[in-house]
C-alpha cells in the first residue's frame, strides 16, 4: 500500500511533513517524516526506539 502513497506524492517530493527536511526520510507507518522527527513521534505513538 506504500506504493500508492508514493504515487500521490510524486518523485523527489518526499519531505518530512513536520520539518520539511528530505534527508533521512522514513515512510514507514505512512508517516513520511525524517528520522529526527520520527524519534519524537515514535515516543508519542509508542513505537520502538529507532536507531
Kindly list the residues in this chain that would bind Zn ion in the complex (CB under 5 A).
16, 18-19, 21, 34, 37
Query: 34 or 42, CB closer to Zn ion?
Result: 34
**Contact at 8 Å (CB) between 50 and 42?**
yes
Q: How far is the CB of 38 from Zn ion (least distance, A)?
A: 8
Min separation Cβ 48 and Zn ion, Å: 19
- CB of 6 or CB of 40, closer to Zn ion: 40
DSSP 1-51: -HHHHHHHH-TT----TTT---TTEE-GGG--EEHHHHHHHHHHHTPPPP-
Amino acid at each position: 500500500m506504500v506504493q500508492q502513497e508514493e504515487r500521490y506524492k510524486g518523485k523527489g517530493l518526499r519531505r518530512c511533513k513536520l520539518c520539511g527536511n528530505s534527508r533521512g526520510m522514513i515512510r514507514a507507518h505512512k508517516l513520511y517524516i525524517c528520522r529526527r522527527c520520527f524519534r519524537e513521534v515514535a515516543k508519542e505513538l509508542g513505537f520502538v526506539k529507532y536507531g
